[in-house]
Structure 1
């Protein structure tokens, strides 16, 4: 199997998570405010987190996604994750997702990680289209993707059944051409 790629930005190191990271990851995955937009119930144990880590590993092995742990360069502790899921290589598209420990909200960390991951997707995975599915009530996430250059395409009504109810989701996307002409052109150099 190919070596898991590491992405470095000014402040961050995006790397593969391992089972030794489970305790740190439980800190944010047990927080209702962090996991609700992901359509998950708060995790209760490190065993729950290990299942999530196994999922990260499985999507990478199958080629259907890749999820990086977000760490600050000065600590190395996993404080969130960002990456692709539902990748369809034959259609050159994937969905991007992210979450971050509440202690690190509003510091530009997810923006920095997302920008690096999007660049990786276009440059190394040959993606043409990157999607983001966001609950209409998740205003911070909506502002984030719009600032990054994603465009809202519409509302997917009752798109997911999570936490015992149907959820509407906004569909956002960015295509490679947007990087030359749209909001993302100042952020992304391919």
Structure 2
């Protein structure tokens, strides 16, 4: 585990770096039909899930983003994952991603933990924009983004193919409203 990886805390959760012992929980999440229905990746074995664990650690090394394991503060139980992908420092933006194991749905964990990630993104990384791309049919995710005060920007119709069918993506954003220092060349 890297010493400088940021640990974030809320009232009920700790967001920490992924460790090897999270493998089974990540597999449990990213093989669960209710999670992967709208998620971009899924795995059918523990061995294949190691690819995702490698991806989590490579994001930080390559500065392409950062993801945290979301865990209970009470007992350390793994609840899910959340973070930033496609970090673009030049344009001060990144894409948000998150998922929870189904037994943790409806308990307010996302609305409690995601603001920690937003604050980190805006204050520590210096981002101005966090984007969310959501399959139009994914009502639960859209409700979560509404609770997190994301703005709906529009729909990209038939922009991707999934399972041989075109799907549409709704675009959401959250902006940091601090003044952005713009320098002219």
After superposition, the Cα gap between the structure-2 partners of 1:65 and 1:161, relative to the gap in structure 1 and judged at 3 Å, is farther
Correspondence for 2:151 = 151
Structure 1 position 95, deviation (Å) = 0.4
Q: Give the TM-score normalised by structure 2.
A: 0.89
Correspondence for 2:174 = 174
Correspondence for 1:5 = 6
Unmatched segments (≥5 aa) in structure 2: 180-185
Q: Is the 8 A contact 1:25 1:79 kept in 2?
A: no
Greater helix proportion: 1
Q: Is the 8 A contact 2:30 2:41 kept in 1?
A: no
C-alpha distance in structure 1 between counterparts of 2:163 and 2:5, whole Å: 32
Correspondence for 2:126 = 126
Q: Which has the larger radius of gyration?
A: 2
3-state DSSP of counterpart to 1:86: strand
3-state DSSP of counterpart to 1:167: strand
Correspondence for 1:48 = 48
C-alpha distance in structure 2 between counterparts of 1:113 and 1:139, whole Å: 20
Correspondence for 1:97 = 97
Unmatched segments (≥5 aa) in structure 1: 181-190
Q: Is the 8 A contact 2:93 2:131 kept in 1?
A: yes
3-state DSSP of counterpart to 1:91: coil
C-alpha distance in structure 1 between counterparts of 2:163 and 2:124, whole Å: 35
The range that moved more, 154-163 or 5-14, is 154-163
Cα root mean square deviation, aligned = 1.8
After superposition, the Cα gap between the structure-2 partners of 1:165 and 1:2, relative to the gap in structure 1 and judged at 3 Å, is farther
Q: Is the 8 A contact 1:39 1:163 kept in 2?
A: no
3-state DSSP of counterpart to 2:38: helix
Correspondence for 1:16 = 17
C-alpha distance in structure 1 between counterparts of 2:35 and 2:147, whole Å: 20
C-alpha distance in structure 1 between counterparts of 2:18 and 2:155, whole Å: 33
Correspondence for 2:67 = 67
C-alpha distance in structure 2 between counterparts of 1:127 and 1:18, whole Å: 26
3-state DSSP of counterpart to 2:90: helix
C-alpha distance in structure 2 between counterparts of 1:85 and 1:21, whole Å: 20
Q: Give the TM-score normalised by structure 1.
A: 0.87
Q: Is the 8 A contact 2:94 2:131 kept in 1?
A: yes
